[in-house]
Every structure is written in structure tokens, then in C-alpha cells.
């Protein structure tokens, strides 16, 4: 089958979160299963900075073979040559509708220019939802596009691509599409909603989350429209790319290790403590957190309990950026407990690897989590995850591999941390957890096969 993946971020070219990990790994897994796959993404400044060789094949199109799957880049100096992908500290870029509608139209046109008659166009999140909307309302009248099917993957329903109604004419679509059944959401343009309505099938990145988003609590207003499309809604858990996330081959960590040489994990703990200016002590339980700093990621309840946490005889390395509110709360607490918390308010791939490898416990108390990669990555490095029972976290973590709490409160979180510390001190059961974690297998193969089945169902091939 011929599959075109449209995603706004792809590892190793540009990344702000899990979407990029998935968009980089799934195409490779599909190719391994014998399918013809291409990727189409914007050419951001990050792509240029990543140093990969790009070949110009058209006035605004570049291509790279670097990852083993042909990746096409849409160039637009004014729209994409910026320091960030979607926005800066002050907020989202105000012209995001122009930026991603341009990307989406060019992606569709590119398919014709390179004569790639895709069986399925697989789009991800609101940034590429317009590919689906344009295909179904404009391009499919052209023979070249008429048979193409679409799959829309929702990686996080909390981000919907909402724009003022006044911007609708810029899309070049008929005003009749601006109504409650299609693109309108409380008098605004909602691109994610358009993706849900016009795609041939929808999926999200864990089975549990696919059910949760049909409820008021987790649907962010999309529960009604998703309910209507529930027969076309699926859940497929993300895999993990072990060629990037493995303690045996990781080039960023202090010392490579495996289950057989688990004692070398402690060189990583020592290295991380030193690097982060924390006292180098083998016996002190070291927590790691690599996360967007947002309430979704559990920062709200963690912030409430952080002072108590600091008094538990622990250490914590935090890496992340996000809401200014949490930057400030964390900066204040670090001033008070500099020997307990190391705070790193940045995006830093190399440090992320070191945290996954060097920590004892990975803290991921997300309030909701479509899939979550952090818990899977930490397991690969024998770092025991502590999570809230939701979405993909509930689907991947149980008491055999980590600690799970099921009431979203500060007290439950702290009690579960204390429970984990008690097990840590006992030694032997902790080693068992590490073993189970490192033996867990989240490789892409099975999930990629599920995607192929879905593509087949859509295309009839």
C-alpha cells in the first residue's frame, strides 16, 4: 500500500513532544512491513539546524532520505523559518491558521507533483487536519485524489486548533462548512473537529483514551461528535523506537548498560547527580521528570504537594518547559531546596536521555494521557514509573512494573510516592520491578500491524 504521513513534527528533524517520536518511528515500522511510505512536514528552522542533508527538488520542496523513509519538506521562509514550531513564551503564533493551511494545501498538491497516489493519507492532530478537510471538500473532485482515504490520529484532544471566525474566509472553503456539524465550535473555527468529521476513520493512541474522549470529562467538547463517529473510532497504542531509546546503545548516557550489567545504571545515577549539582549519593532515591510543565501532566497536584515531597529524603531532576505559573512555583521551591531538586527549564534531548537512564523512579502523574511515551522510555532504562491511572498510562503500567494511583489528588500522589520509597528501601522487590520494566516490550511492530489493518479496511486493498 501507499501511505502518506502528514505530520507537523517528526523525529529527528523537529520535535516538541511525543507526536514527533511517533511520526518518526511509525513510517519506518510500516516500511519494514513492506509498504511504500512518505512523510510530509514543514521545513522549520529546527529542520535546518538539525544538520541533515536536504535536496531541493522544487521551488519550495526539499527531500531527505536520512531516516530511511522519504521525507518531504514544505518551505516557506516567512511561515516556517522561526525559532519555534507553534509559538513562543508569549503564546501561539497569531498566523498559525495561515501557516498550517498553507502546509496542508501544499502537502496535497505535492502528492500530485511527485505522482504519489496514496491509498491512505494519515494525518496527525489539528496541524494537519486541513489536509483531510481540503481533500474531502476540494481536491477529491480531481481524479488523481478521488480514491484517497484518510486516517486522522488524535494525539491530544486538548489542543484543537481554534481560530476566530473572521479567519474562516482565508481557508478558501465554502461558508456552508462553518456550521455546528462541521467546522464551527462555539463561534470559532475548530480544525480538529473538521478532521474528526471529514476523515474516513479516526484513531487515538491508546484504547483507554479512545473511550475516555467520548466522555464529557476528557472530550474537551468533542465527545458529542466523537460519539456520532464511534464506529469509525479506534485505539492503537504507540510503540517505542528502541533504536533511539535503549540503554545498550544510547550515545547520550554516561555509561551504557543492560539488565545483565545493571550495576552500570548507577554510574548514570552518579553522573546525573553530578551534572545537576545534587549531592552524589547512591542510596538516596532519585526521581526524574521529563515533561511539558502543564496541569495535564499532573503539575497541579504535584505543585500542591511539592514541599512535603522535598522532606522525604529524596532527590528530583526536572526537565521541561510550559506554563509560566509552574516555572515560577518550581523556581521558588528550588531556592528553598537546592540539594533536593535540580530544575532545568528547557528542551534538551541529551539531558532527557540522561534522566531516563540515571533516575530510580520516573514521575508521570498526568491527569489525562493519550498514550504517553515517558513511562515506556523510563521502563526501557529500568527506571520505575509512578503514574496516575489514565489513558495510555493505565494501558501500559501496572503494579508489576511500577506504581499506579487512581484518585487524582495530592494526597494519593504523595501516598503512592511514599509506598514506592518503602519498596525501594527493601531492595529485592525493587530489583524485580527493574527486571520487569526492562523486559517489557513496546516495540512498534504490533501497533504498526494494527495501523496496516486499518489502512486496508479503509482502502479496500
- Residue 217 interacts with ligand ADP (CB under 6 A): yes or no: no
Which residues are CB-contacts of 19 (< 8 A; sequence separation ≥ 6)? 7, 8, 9, 124, 125, 155, 156
Does 21 bind ligand ADP (CB under 6 A)? Our answer is: yes
Residue 410: how many other CB atoms lie within 10 Å: 17
Minimum distance, C-beta of residue 46 to ligand ADP, in the bound complex (Å): 13
> In whole angstroms, how close is the CB of 7 to ligand ADP at the nearest point?
12
Specify the residue, 156 or 273, whose C-beta has the smaller distance to ligand ADP.
Answer: 156
Q: Which residue is nearest to ligand ADP (CB)?
A: 18
Q: What angle do CA 232, 238, 240 make, to 5 degrees?
A: 165
Site for ligand ADP in 394-433 (CB under 6 A): none
Candidates 194, 358, 374, 402: give the one binding ligand ADP (CB under 6 A): 374
Q: Is 66 helix (H, G, I), strand (E, B) or coil?
A: coil
With respect to ligand ADP, which residue has the nearer C-beta, 189 or 371?
371
Q: Binding of ligand ADP at residue 290 (CB under 6 A)?
A: yes
Closest CA to 238 of 276, 198, 287, 203: 203
The answer to whether 264 contacts ligand ADP (rule: CB under 6 A) is: no
Q: For residues 172 and 454, give the distance between their C-alpha atoms in angstroms, rounded to a whole number.
A: 31
List binders of ligand ADP among 172-191 (CB under 6 A): none
Helices (H), 315-427: 324-336, 349-358, 374-380, 391-396, 410-426
Q: How far is the CB of 257 from ligand ADP (least distance, A)?
A: 19
Of these, 12, 17, 158, 219, which contacts ligand ADP (CB under 6 A)?
17
Q: Which of 57, 42, 46 is nearest to 13 (CA)?
A: 46
User: Does 239 participate in binding ligand ADP (rule CB under 6 A)?
Assistant: no
> From the list 348, 389, 430, 457, which residue makes contact with ligand ADP (rule: CB under 6 A)?
348
Range 258-266, long-range pairs (CB < 8 A, 24+ positions): 258/438, 259/382, 259/434, 259/435, 259/438, 259/439, 262/382, 262/431, 262/434, 265/357, 265/358, 265/381, 265/382
Stretch that binds ligand ADP, among 60-68, 220-228, 285-293, 421-429 (CB under 6 A): 285-293
Q: Which CB sits closer to ligand ADP, 17 or 271?
A: 17
Asked if 373 touches ligand ADP (CB under 6 A), the answer is yes
* DSSP letter for each residue of 300-338: HHHHHHHHHHHTSS-EEEEE--B-HHHHHHHHHHHHH-T
Q: How far is the CB of 196 from ligand ADP (least distance, A)?
A: 19
Compare residues 371 and 401 and give the one whose CB is closer to ligand ADP. 371
Q: Which candidate, 98, 40, 101, places its Cα nearest to that of 69?
A: 40
Give me the 131-170 binding string for ligand ADP, x by CB under 6 A, dash otherwise: -------------------------x--------------
Helix (H, G, I), strand (E, B) or coil at 101: helix
Determine the Cα–Cα distance for residues 309 and 424; give it in Å rounded to an integer: 16
In the bound complex, what is the minimum distance in angstroms from residue 219's beta carbon to ligand ADP? 17
Q: Are 370 and 309 in contact (CB under 8 A)?
A: no
Residue burial 295-319, b: 16+ Cβ < 10 Å; e: rest: bbbbbbbbbbbbeebbeeebbbbbb
Q: Which of 4, 18, 125, 454: binder of ligand ADP (CB under 6 A)?
A: 18
For position 93 contacting ligand ADP by CB under 6 A, the verdict is: no
**Nearer to ligand ADP (CB atom), residue 365 or residue 372:** 372
Nearer Cβ to ligand ADP (91/427)? 91
Considering beta carbons, is residue 111 or 361 the nearer one to ligand ADP?
A: 361
For residue 174, give every residue at least 6 positions away whose Cβ sits within 8 Å of its Cβ, in sequence order, or none: 137
Q: Which of 337, 347, 408, 430 binds ligand ADP (CB under 6 A)?
A: 347
**Bond before 391 cis per omega within 30 degrees:** no
**Distance from C-alpha of 149 to C-alpha of 146, rounded to nearest angstrom:** 9
Per rule CB under 6 A, is residue 349 in the interface with ligand ADP? yes
Helix, strand, coil % (nearest 5) of the chain? 45, 20, 35
Q: Report how many residues bind ligand ADP under the rule CB under 6 A.
A: 19
Pick the piece of the chain touching ligand ADP (CB under 6 A) from 219-227, 248-256, 342-350, 381-389: 342-350
By rule CB under 6 A, what string of x and - marks binding of each residue 298-337 to ligand ADP?
Answer: ---------------------xxx----------------
> Does 437 sit near ligand ADP (CB under 6 A)?
no
HSE-CB for 445 with a 13 A CA cutoff: 4
Binding part of the chain for ligand ADP, among 41-49, 78-86, 91-99, 341-349 by CB under 6 A, reads 341-349
Residue 8 Cβ, how far from ligand ADP at the closest point, in Å? 12
Angle between helices 410-426 and 299-310 (to 10 degrees): 50
DSSP strand pairing (315-319 vs 286-290): parallel
Comparison of 100 and 145: residue with beta carbon closer to ligand ADP = 100
State the residues that interact with ligand ADP by CB under 6 A. 17-19, 21, 156, 290-292, 319-321, 347-349, 352, 371-374
Amino acid at each position: 500500500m501507499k501511505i502518506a504521513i502528514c505530520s507537523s513534527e517528526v523525529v529527528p528533524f523537529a520535535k516538541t513532544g511525543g507526536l514527533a517520536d511517533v511520526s518518526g518511528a511509525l513510517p519506518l515500522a510500516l516500511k519494514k512491513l513492506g509498504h511504500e511510505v512518505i512523510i510530509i512536514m514543514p521545513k522549520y528552522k529546527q529542520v535546518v539546524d538539525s544538520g541533515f542533508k536536504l535536496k531541493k527538488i522544487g521551488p519550495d520542496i526539499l527531500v531527505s532520505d536520512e531516516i530511511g523513509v522519504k521525507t518531504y519538506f514544505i518551505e516557506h521562509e516567512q511561515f516556517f523559518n522561526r525559532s519555534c514550531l507553534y509559538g513562543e513564551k508569549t503564546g501561539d503564533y497569531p498566523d498559525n491558521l495561515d501557516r498550517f493551511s498553507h502546509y496542508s494545501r501544499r502537502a496535497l498538491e505535492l502528492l500530485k507533483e511527485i505522482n504519489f497516489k496514496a491509498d491512505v493519507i494519515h494525518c496527525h492532530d489539528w496541524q494537519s487536519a486541513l489536509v483531510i478537510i481540503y481533500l474531502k471538500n476540494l481536491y477529491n473532485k480531481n481524479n488523481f485524489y478521488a480514491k484517497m482515504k484518510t486516517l486522522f490520529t488524535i494525539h491530544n484532544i486538548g489542543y484543537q486548533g481554534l481560530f476566530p471566525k473572521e479567519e474562516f474566509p482565508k481557508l478558501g472553503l465554502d461558508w456552508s462548512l462553518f456550521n455546528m456539524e462541521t467546522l464551527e465550535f462555539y463561534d470559532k473555527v475548530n480544525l480538529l473537529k473538521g478532521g474528526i468529521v471529514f476523515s474516513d476513520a479516526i484513531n487515538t493512541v491508546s484504547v483507554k483514551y479512545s473511550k475516555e474522549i467520548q466522555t464529557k470529562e476528557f472530550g474537551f467538547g468533542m465527545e458529542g461528535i466523537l460519539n456520532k463517529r464511534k464506529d469509525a473510532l479506534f485505539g492503537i497504542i504507540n510503540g517505542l523506537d528502541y533504536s533511539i531509546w535503549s540503554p545498550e546503545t544510547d550515545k547520550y548516557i554516561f555509561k551504557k548498560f543492560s539488565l545483565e550489567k545493571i550495576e552500570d545504571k548507577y554510574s548514570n545515577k552518579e553522573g546525573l547527580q553530578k551534572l545537576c549539582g545534587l549531592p552524589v549519593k547512591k542510596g538516596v532515591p532519585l526521581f526524574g521528570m521529563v515533561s511539558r510543565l502543564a496541569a495535564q501532566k499532573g503539575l497541579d497536584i504535584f505543585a500542591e504537594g511539592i514541599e512535603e515531597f522535598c522532606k522525604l529524603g529524596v532527590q528530583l531532576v526536572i526537565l521541561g518547559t510550559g506554563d509560566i505559573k509552574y516555572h515560577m512555583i518550581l523556581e521558588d521551591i528550588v531556592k528553598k531546596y537546592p540539594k533536593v531538586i535540580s530544575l532545568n527549564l528547557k528542551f534538551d534531548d541529551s539531558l532527557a536521555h540522561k534522566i531516563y537512564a540515571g533516575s530510580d523512579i520516573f514521575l508521570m502523574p498526568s491527569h489525562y494521557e493519550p498514550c504517553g511515551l515517558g513511562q515506556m522510555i523510563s521502563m526501557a532504562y529500568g527506571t520505575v514509573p509512578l503514574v496516575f491511572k489514565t489513558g495510555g498510562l493505565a494501558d501500559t503500567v501496572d503494579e508489576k512494573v511500577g506504581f499506579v494511583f487512581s484518585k487524582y489528588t495530592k494526597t494519593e500522589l504523595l501516598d503512592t510516592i511514599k509506598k514506592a520509597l518503602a519498596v525501594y528501601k527493601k531492595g529485592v522487590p525493587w530489583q524485580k520491578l527493574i527486571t520487569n520494566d526492562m523486559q517489557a516490550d513496546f516495540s512498534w511492530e504490533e501497533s504498526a500491524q494494527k495501523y496496516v489493518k486499518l489502512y486496508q479496511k479503509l482502502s479496500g486493498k
